[in-house]
């Protein structure tokens, strides 16, 4: 577990660990600006960590045994392969967006989530003063390779790759031939082998991609801990001063 989780999510001063919950609504009771700061940082970090874990779980589906346990025919296999590859790419890219939100919260920039962008984070004078802009740029660079692919997935229905298209076509044609009363157009062992090879290669590719992003995220985490502690102390001082 990275130290940032202990510093922010498990912060003993936070309303979460002080058990400030509303028993009627299940909401966290935030008594002052410092509470709001600690809670918003914890929520942003939790969301980012959730994105990382979802990306990992999404990659776990890129496996032939998992596919065979769910799919009942070749057309379903084609659908699931396309769905899982698309989902893996989208999940991985959401990590970058949530890292921007975390920086916004920890640095106390006050930018609404819907207005957050790469430009207004890395160009912010507070972010640059703390030296976080270079770390954000590093994460952005590692995510850049798949950003165009992600936009294709979202706006044009599906991630297109020649090998994936070929496998999908073979699976769908095989299923159509059987439904039409004909024979399989490809031997079952051949289909199994090309599917296994593709899923294995795609799993390795995207897992390596995710590891690089995680490495950059951990560097960001290291830099955010002292910023969080400083800003929390500043808010605590102001709270006591004007109490």
How high is the pLDDT of residue 62? 84
How high is the pLDDT of residue 78? 85
How high is the pLDDT of residue 24? 65
- Give CA 36 to chain center in angstroms: 24
How high is the pLDDT of residue 148? 60
Query: pLDDT tens digits, the chain, 243 residues: what are they?
Result: 899 999 999 989 888 777 777 666 667 777 789 889 999 999 999 999 999 999 888 888 888 888 888 888 888 888 888 888 888 777 777 899 999 999 999 999 999 988 999 999 999 999 999 999 999 999 988 887 765 655 555 455 555 567 777 888 888 888 888 888 877 777 888 888 888 888 888 888 888 888 999 999 999 999 999 999 999 999 887 776 665
The domain segmentation of the chain, as residue ranges, is: 3-241
Burial class (CB in 10 A: 0-12, 13-18, 19+), 196: middle
The model carries a pTM of: 0.82
The secondary structure of the chain in percent helix, strand, coil, rounded to multiples of 5, reads 75, 0, 25
**Closest residue by Cα to residue 195 from 68, 60, 56:** 68
As a whole number of angstroms, the distance between CA 46 and CA 9 comes to 8
How high is the pLDDT of residue 237? 79
């Amino acid at each position: 577990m990275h130290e940032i989780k202990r510093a922010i999510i498990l912060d003993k001063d936070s309303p979460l660990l002080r058990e400030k919950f509303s028993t009627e609504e299940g909401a966290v009771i935030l008594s002052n600006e410092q509470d709001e700061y600690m809670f918003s940082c914890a929520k942003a970090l939790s969301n980012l960590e959730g994105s990382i874990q979802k990306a990992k779980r999404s990659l776990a589906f890129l496996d032939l045994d998992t596919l065979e346990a769910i799919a009942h025919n070749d057309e379903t296999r084609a659908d699931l392969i396309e769905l899982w590859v698309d989902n893996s790419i989208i999940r991985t890219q959401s990590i970058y967006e949530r890292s921007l939100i975390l920086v916004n919260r920890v640095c106390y920039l006050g930018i609404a989530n819907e207005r957050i962008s790469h430009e207004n984070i890395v160009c912010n004078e507070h972010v640059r003063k703390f030296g976080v802009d270079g770390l954000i740029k590093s994460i952005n660079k590692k995510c850049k390779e798949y950003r165009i692919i992600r936009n294709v997935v979202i706006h044009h229905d599906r991630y297109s790759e020649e090998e994936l298209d070929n496998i999908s076509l073979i699976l769908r044609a095989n299923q159509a031939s059987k439904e039409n009363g004909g024979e399989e157009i490809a031997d079952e062992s051949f289909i199994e082998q090309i599917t296994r090879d593709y899923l294995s290669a795609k799993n390795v590719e995207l897992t390596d991609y995710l590891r690089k992003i995680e490495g950059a995220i951990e560097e960001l985490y290291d830099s955010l801990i002292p910023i969080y502690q400083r800003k929390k102390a500043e808010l605590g001082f102001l709270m006591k001063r004007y109490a």
